[in-house]
């Protein structure tokens, strides 16, 4: 398989295998007019399998979503065919509209326009809780 070289753009690497499409939607990459390539289940010496997303222009990314989906994700910034920066998103303190509150009594169940917002309450166990009702979010699967 041949995926073209990026002259100016981003390479989102080390995405947990099978989560590339999910990330594509959260980052709203479908709204871009440039080339976007999603590589699923690529071989990885370190992780076994991984997904990769290549974006054909340099755009602003929500690093909180990247850090939440996979703490091992890296973003390579390419300009004039050369890697000029490598970003390592971190686990965010708060995350909105990625996790949905499962508590049927939570205000987000009634007020549909409210964002589903969660705060990191325990970094070691990667525990997030709803900011409105304090319900614990389901555990995320990181690879």
Instruction: State the pairing for strand pair 127-130/36-44.
Output: unpaired
pLDDT tier, 3 (very low <50, low <70, confident <90, very high otherwise)? low
**Residue 117 DSSP code:** E
Question: Is the pLDDT assigned to residue 1 strictly greater than 60?
Answer: no
Q: Are 89 and 67 in contact (CB under 8 A)?
A: yes
For the chain, the farthest-separated pair of C-alpha atoms sits apart, in whole angstroms, at 52
Q: State how far the Cα of 86 lies from the Cα of 19, in Å rounded to an integer.
A: 21
* pLDDT score for 5: 80
In tens, the pLDDT along 91-121 reads 999 999 999 999 999 999 888 899 999 999 9
pLDDT at 71 over 90: no
Domain ranges of the chain: 9-87, 94-130
Class of domain 9-87: alpha beta
Distance separating alpha carbons of residues 34 and 32, to the nearest angstrom: 6
143 pLDDT band (50/70/90 cuts)? very low
């Amino acid at each position: 398989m041949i995926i073209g070289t990026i002259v100016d753009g981003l390479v989102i690497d080390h995405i947990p295998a099978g989560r590339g499409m999910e990330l594509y939607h959260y980052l709203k990459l479908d709204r871009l007019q440039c080339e976007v390539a999603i590589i699923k289940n690529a071989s990885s010496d370190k992780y076994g399998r991984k997904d990769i997303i290549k974006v054909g222009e340099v755009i602003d990314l929500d690093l909180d979503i990247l850090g939440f989906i996979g703490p091992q994700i890296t973003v390579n910034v390419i300009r004039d065919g050369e890697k000029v920066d490598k970003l390592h998103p971190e686990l965010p303190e708060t995350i909105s509209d990625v996790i949905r509150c499962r508590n049927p009594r939570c205000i987000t169940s009634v007020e549909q326009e409210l964002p589903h917002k969660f705060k990191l309450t325990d970094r070691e166990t990667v525990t997030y809780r709803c900011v409105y009702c304090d319900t614990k979010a389901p555990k995320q699967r990181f690879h």
